[in-house]
């Protein structure tokens, strides 16, 4: 059996959740068969990530030319899935030969385009699976499969401990802390909500807070966001900003793994915590009003009380 995926990913992990979900579902569903998975990738993923591994596929073609795709018409696939509605993806999809060919549709994507990338991709996965066949929901993979290299995780843990100890802090495994991970922002309400939570937690508890700012994909005139400026003005000793510019996903994994709780507005980290069953709270822009922020603080205190029983 031969299956071809055609996909175009974008910045960071966008597009990789969908590819991860559909690949692992079909691999599990056909595990007793000899299945060949090929991938036409219209924007290169330069290395393996938490959600993508080249070894999953027999052949990965990066931005193939029309001539290359035409020559590959001698391969007849049992199933071809187009995971993108970009013009280049549609072109290669139409050119490829397959017994069954399924694609996401532009008008379907338009209806959910306002969603964040993680929700968009999981909904697209469900819709695409419905097109392949009427598969019962209980047999479907609901969360991505993480590609974690344990050696990288171990090395990261050692580096974190070295940095902490150089700042006269305890090693991560002996540190009681909360992990905050937020995209850089200049939004006043969002910053006020984050600072409110930080100050309330630091004033009420002995736990420290490790804070990392996720860099923006957009070019900025200034190298420093307003969020970072405000954080550096927080005087409480319990706020650790040593790692505020670390974007390596293995730092996120290690900090989340050892934290009593993480608070974030990042859907990817929230998804990872669901897979790993870590305590986490997702803050979105519609939760920034005073009432919801107080509710989030109540949830944080609940988790802290639960993790530190009398």
Query: What pLDDT, on the 0 to 100 scale, is given for residue 247?
Result: 72
pLDDT tens across 83-117, in order? 998 899 999 999 999 999 999 876 565 556 656 67
Measured distance CA(278)–CA(284) in Å, rounded: 19
Among 9-18, 153-162, 245-254, 270-279, where is mean pLDDT lowest?
9-18
- Span 153-164, average pLDDT: 92
- Span 209-223, average pLDDT: 71
Mean of per-residue pLDDT scores for the chain: 85
pLDDT tens across 179-204, in order? 999 888 888 888 888 898 998 888 87
Q: Is the pLDDT of residue 206 over 90?
A: no
Q: What CATH number does the domain located at 2-139 have?
A: 3.40.50
Query: What pLDDT, on the 0 to 100 scale, is given for residue 270?
Result: 85
Q: What CATH number does the domain located at 150-307 have?
A: 3.40.50.2000
Looking from the CA of 158 toward its CB, the CA atoms found within 13 Å total: 6
Among 172-186, 196-210, 246-260, 279-293, where is mean pLDDT lowest?
279-293
Percentage of the chain beyond pLDDT 70 is 87
Query: What pLDDT, on the 0 to 100 scale, is given for residue 181?
Result: 92
Q: For the chain, state the CA radius of gyration.
A: 22
122 confidence band (pLDDT: 50, 70, 90): confident
Of 303 and 222, the structure prediction assigns the larger pLDDT to 303
Q: Quick one: how far is CA 6 from the chain centroid?
A: 21
Distances (CA, A) of 218 to 86, 153, 266: 21, 29, 16
Percentage of the chain beyond pLDDT 90 is 38
Query: What pLDDT, on the 0 to 100 scale, is given for residue 219?
Result: 46
Q: Is the pLDDT of residue 238 over 50?
A: yes
Query: What pLDDT, on the 0 to 100 scale, is given for residue 139?
Result: 58
Q: DSSP alpha helices (H): ranges in the chain? A: 16-29, 66-71, 87-95, 106-111, 117-132, 150-166, 188-204, 226-232, 249-258, 267-276, 290-307
Query: What pLDDT, on the 0 to 100 scale, is given for residue 110?
Result: 57
pLDDT tens across 34-90, in order? 999 999 999 878 788 889 999 999 999 999 999 999 999 999 999 999 999 889 999
Q: How many CB atoms lie within 10 A of CB 194?
A: 23
Query: What pLDDT, on the 0 to 100 scale, is given for residue 310?
Result: 47
134 confidence band (pLDDT: 50, 70, 90): low
3-class secondary structure, 230 = helix
Query: What pLDDT, on the 0 to 100 scale, is given for residue 228?
Result: 85
Positions of CATH 3.40.50.2000 in the chain: 150-307
Three-state helix/strand/coil letters over 241-260: CCCCCCCCHHHHHHHHHHCC
- Span 133-144, average pLDDT: 65
Judge whether 183 and 151 are in contact, CB under 8 Å: no
Measured distance CA(3)–CA(56) in Å, rounded: 12
């Amino acid at each position: 059996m031969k299956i071809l995926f055609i996909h175009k990913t974008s910045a960071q992990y966008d597009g990789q959740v969908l590819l991860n979900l559909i690949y692992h579902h079909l691999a599990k569903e056909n595990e007793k068969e000899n299945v060949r998975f090929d991938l036409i990738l219209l924007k290169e993923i330069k290395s393996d990530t938490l959600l993508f591994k080249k070894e999953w596929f027999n052949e990965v073609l990066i931005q193939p030319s029309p001539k290359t795709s035409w020559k590959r018409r001698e391969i007849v696939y049992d199933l071809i899935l187009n995971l993108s509605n970009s013009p280049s993806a549609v072109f290669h999809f139409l050119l490829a030969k397959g017994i069954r060919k399924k694609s996401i549709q532009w008008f379907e994507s338009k209806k959910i385009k306002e969603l964040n990338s993680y929700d968009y991709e999981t909904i697209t996965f469900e819709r695409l699976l419905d097109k392949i066949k009427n598969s019962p929901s209980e047999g479907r993979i609901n969360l991505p499969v993480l590609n974690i290299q344990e050696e990288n995780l171990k090395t990261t843990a050692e580096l974190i401990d070295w940095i902490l100890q150089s700042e006269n802090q305890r090693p991560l495994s002996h540190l009681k802390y909360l992990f905050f991970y937020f995209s850089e922002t200049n939004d006043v309400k969002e910053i006020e909500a984050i600072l409110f939570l930080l100050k309330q937690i630091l004033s009420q508890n002995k736990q420290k807070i490790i804070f990392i700012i996720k860099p923006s994909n957009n070019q900025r005139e200034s190298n420093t966001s307003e969020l970072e400026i405000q954080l550096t003005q927080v005087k409480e000793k319990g706020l650790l900003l040593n790692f505020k510019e670390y974007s390596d996903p293995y730092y996120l994994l290690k900090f989340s793994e050892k934290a009593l709780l993480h608070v974030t507005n990042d859907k990817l980290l929230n998804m990872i915590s669901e897979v790993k069953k870590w305590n986490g709270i997702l803050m979105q822009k519609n939760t920034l009003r005073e009432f919801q922020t107080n509710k989030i603080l109540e949830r944080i205190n609940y988790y802290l009380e639960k993790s530190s029983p009398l």
